[in-house]
Structure 1
Amino acid sequence: MFIGEYNVSIDSKGRVCIPAKIREIIAQKYNDGKMILTLGLDGCLALYPYEEWEKIAMNLKQKIPLSLRTGRILERSFFRNAIECSIDKQGRIVIPPKLRRAALIIKDVVIIGVQNRMEIWSKEAIETYDVEFEDSSIGESLEELYDRIGNLQF
């Protein structure tokens, strides 16, 4: 499981160093280190180990009816921006220009571990997200969600 928050930089070639802690998890749990990088939600990029990506793809295939136009649109948007990537010997991945532009990534990057994936944010975007989260009534919505899920034993 991926957890934590890490501040890193992106170089002029679009390379980002994946934190050592995350690389350890990938090496222990996911043998080949093959990854999928795609657009995430809320303005970030999402980096999945290939095995996790396959589970999501299979889940989509089973639950999204392609007979519905919205199902085809969702599937297309989910897969069209995804690229395969690997972590190089220096522990880096390359983020292509198209994905950097989509996530507004220029220099400072924040990598957040979120269960089966890593989210890659521009520093400015995650700071804006944090402010909006604090200013919103999302706390009340989270309480409602916790009630729906049941006792999570925190």
Structure 2
Amino acid sequence: MNRTPRDRDAEGRARSARPRDGLGRPLPYGERGVERQPEGVARTPDETLVEAQRLLDAGKPFHAHEVLEDAWKSGPEAERGLWRGLAQLAVGLTHAARGNATGGAALLVRGAESIASYAAVMPYGIDVDGLTRWAGALADELRRNAAVVPAAERAPQLRAGR
């Protein structure tokens, strides 16, 4: 059997070095993809939100999810639910843009539930109420009509008044 060697890091975990499109879908080796976000980047919360919003506005919610995931994995324990929820919202939009209405709706609801407890505080100016309304409306729309959602046109605003 002729197998291509798997792309693994020093610990044996898959690295997924295949090129990807703007929504994070793998492309065939040798094709030109969209540059991925580097993993494990330490950013301030403000830098995280600015970069994630830039990527959402550019129609790259998969890439925004990677930025938010760094904050989730490296941030303080008390904020993990916030950053995880924001990452889930970005992944929900990713699935909606890929045409996976069921998965998109589920992740949007899960993300909204994860951030809801932060509404009274609005950490870092994050519009928790606006995001939960956006996620609920988009999830309802996806359940009624499984059409592909244009990611840039439907991108949420992470902060109030921006």
TM-score tier by shorter-chain length is: under 0.3
Q: Please report the TM-score for the alignment, with normalisation by the length of structure 2.
A: 0.26
Q: When you count helix as a share of all residues, which structure comes out higher?
A: 2
Using CA pairs below 8 Å that are at least 6 residues apart, which structure has the higher relative contact order? 1
Structure number with higher strand proportion: 1
TM-score of the two chains, using structure 1 as the length reference: 0.27
